[in-house]
């Protein structure tokens, strides 16, 4: 029992995180990087002497704060502990949500507004999935509203944040004729079997089959596949961005950094993709 207590005590040591000891985002994180907005928000707030260029001003006195950033990496927690969506592997993800909610409810600043002035990143569609209804009054950072009811998340209180592009920015475009030097008219490479609105991918595969200047290929996200997709986008004029399991994907931003004109399909007036695009 004493040994267990020592282990628990060691595991619960409070560590002050600063810009100097914040671990760098791992370069080999693959698709996990697309929902890393929580990390970059944290890094920006921790940046010292960045007042002139920072996106937000951090204050040390809670009484001076307009909003409170909750540094819980809910997307990383899901990707690390709950990705297969089955118990018992999801137990850690669930417990972390229980712990952060308990911590918040003990705060007088949370109690003061019931969390309405607290900012919580939930960028992955399944982030904070066990207890998200408990924090629906807070300001949520989301990728889109595909997995949320309108009561839970909406543009009146929440923020739609862009994905972090997975592909490297293209810096060597042909400056003489960058458009006509691209040999493919329309490009798509990715999973063709998806849920919800993503069923359109299989339909598009049938419609576009047989066109010489269209590249439409089924693939899974691996390191080699991402490299192949990056090369394909850089050789294409237009990049198809169909809906996935939710309305948006990081494919839009991968296309932009590849200088490939994104084609969003199906277009909807009220979804978060169009809010970003406008």
pLDDT tens-digit map of 140-150: 999 999 888 88
Q: How much of the chain exceeds pLDDT 70, in percent?
A: 85
What is the DSSP code string of the chain?
-HHHHHHHHHHT------TTTSPPPPTT-GGGGGGTHHHHHHHHHH-TT-TTT-SS---SSGGG-SSEE----HHHHIIIIITT--TTTTHHHHHHHHHHHHHHHT-HHHHHHTTTTEEEE--STTTTTTTGGGGTTSEEEES-STTS-TTTS-TTT-EE-PPPPSSPPP----SSSTTTT--EEEEEEE----SGGGGHHHHHHHHHTT-TTEEEEE----HHHHHHHHHHHHTEEEEEEE--SSS--THHHHHHHTT-EEEEES--TTSHHHHHH-
pLDDT bucket at 13, cuts 50 / 70 / 90: low
pLDDT tens-digit map of 65-95: 999 999 999 999 998 888 878 778 799 999 9
Q: Average pLDDT over the chain, rounded to whole?
A: 84
In the prediction, which pLDDT does 104 show?
97
pLDDT tens-digit map of 168-204: 999 888 778 888 889 999 999 998 887 766 678 888 8
In the prediction, which pLDDT does 202 show?
85
pLDDT tens-digit map of 56-67: 888 889 999 999
pLDDT greater at residue 109 or residue 150: 109
Which domains occur in the chain, in start order? 2-160 (no CATH), 184-277 (3.40.50)
In the prediction, which pLDDT does 193 show?
82
């Amino acid at each position: 029992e004493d040994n267990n207590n020592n282990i628990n005590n060691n595991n619960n040591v409070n560590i002050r995180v600063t810009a100097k000891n914040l671990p760098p985002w791992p370069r080999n994180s693959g698709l996990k990087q697309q929902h890393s907005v929580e990390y970059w928000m944290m890094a920006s707030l921790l940046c010292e002497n960045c007042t002139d260029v920072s996106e937000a001003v951090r204050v040390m006195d809670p009484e001076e704060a307009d909003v409170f950033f909750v540094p819980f990496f809910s997307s990383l927690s899901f990707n690390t502990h709950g990705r297969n969506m089955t118990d018992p592997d999801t137990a850690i993800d669930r417990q972390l949500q229980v712990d952060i909610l308990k911590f918040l409810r003990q705060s007088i600043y949370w109690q003061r507004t019931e969390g309405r002035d607290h900012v919580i990143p939930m960028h992955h569609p399944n982030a904070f999935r066990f207890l998200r209804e408990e924090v629906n009054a807070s300001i949520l950072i989301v990728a889109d509203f595909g997995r949320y009811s309108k009561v839970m998340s909406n543009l009146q209180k929440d923020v739609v944040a862009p994905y972090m592009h997975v592909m490297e920015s293209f810096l060597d475009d042909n400056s003489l004729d960058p458009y006509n030097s691209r040999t493919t008219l329309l490009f798509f490479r990715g999973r063709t079997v998806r849920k919800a609105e993503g069923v359109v991918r299989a339909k598009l595969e049938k419609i576009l089959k047989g066109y010489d200047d269209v590249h439409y290929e089924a693939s899974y996200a691996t390191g080699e596949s991402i490299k192949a997709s990056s090369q394909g986008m850089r050789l294409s004029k237009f990049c198809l961005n169909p809906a996935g399991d939710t309305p948006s994907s990081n494919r839009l931003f991968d296309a932009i950094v590849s200088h490939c004109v994104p084609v969003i399909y199906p277009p909807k007036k009220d979804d978060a993709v169009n809010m970003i695009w406008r």
